[in-house]
Amino acid sequence: MFVLGVTGGIGSGKSTVSSYLGDKGLTVIDADELSRQVTDVGGIAVPAIAEVFGRRAVKDNGALNRKYVSGIVFKDKTKLDVLSSIVHRFVLDKMEEEVGKLRVKGAKCVVLDVPIPVNRFVNMCNQIWVVTCDLDVRLARLKDRGMDADDAKRRIAMQMTDDEYEQLGDYSIDNSGTLDETYASIDKLIEKELNGRGIRI
């Protein structure tokens, strides 16, 4: 089974790329969705987070208090790294489990949509496509999502640069232009890297 990783910084549009691949018929495992699951009510990552960030990190219903924790970690990269390491561990466990199930079923290809390409993710993938985007476009997108401009800049600054992402990837997709331009770039990679391996979508 061919494991394709799709990654990129916040606002870059990696979800646009993975959604397009999903619409083409590929199974997509979304790390952000798994992250929500492990930090929701009864989530397996919540106790470990509370142990580090205190009882206020958990809502009365047992879910992660995202607003409280975000207010801490996006002002302190060390604490952000601690939070990320906790969540990533549980997310990647689930991701590996899902990949294993698909492998048993005989799936030809699976897409892993992951925002932060940690070593475990990189090692799981046969190939990685990195989604990049001009900073001004990323900021505009995050503003459209309701994010404060300063908060958006702070979050982007705490992540890897596009150059750092590209060093880990096999191919880069520039998502700064129109959707049609992005889709055309994806289609070229599909033809070259997937169809060429007998993965018809």
CA distance 194 to 56: 47
Instruction: Give the sheet arrangement for strand 27-30, strand by strand.
Output: 27-30, 109-113, 2-7, 127-132, 171-174
Alpha-carbon radius of gyration of the chain: 17
CA distance 27 to 148: 33
3-state secondary structure 109-156: EEEEECCCCCHHHHHHCCEEEEEECCHHHHHHHHHHCCCCHHHHHHHH
Class of domain 2-38+93-197: alpha beta
CA distance 45 to 37: 9
- Token pair 């906790």 is found at 86
How confident is the prediction along the chain (201 residues), in pLDDT tens digits per residue? 999 999 999 999 999 999 999 999 999 999 999 999 999 999 999 999 999 999 999 999 999 999 999 999 988 889 999 999 999 999 999 999 999 999 999 999 999 999 988 899 999 999 999 999 999 999 999 999 998 888 899 889 888 998 999 999 999 999 999 999 999 999 999 999 999 999 988
DSSP, collapsed to helix, strand or coil, labels residue 67 as helix
Question: Could you tell me the CA-to-CA distances from 28 to 17, 112, 134 in Å, in that order?
Answer: 11, 6, 25
Query: Are 150 and 172 a contacting pair, CB within 8 Å?
Result: no
Q: What is the pLDDT of residues 151-171, one digit of tens each?
A: 899 889 888 998 999 999 999
For residue 91, give every residue at least 6 positions away whose Cβ sits within 8 Å of its Cβ, in sequence order, or none.
31, 34, 35, 38, 45
Residue ranges with strand state E in 8-63? 27-30
pTM of the predicted protein model? 0.90
The domain locations on the chain are 2-38+93-197
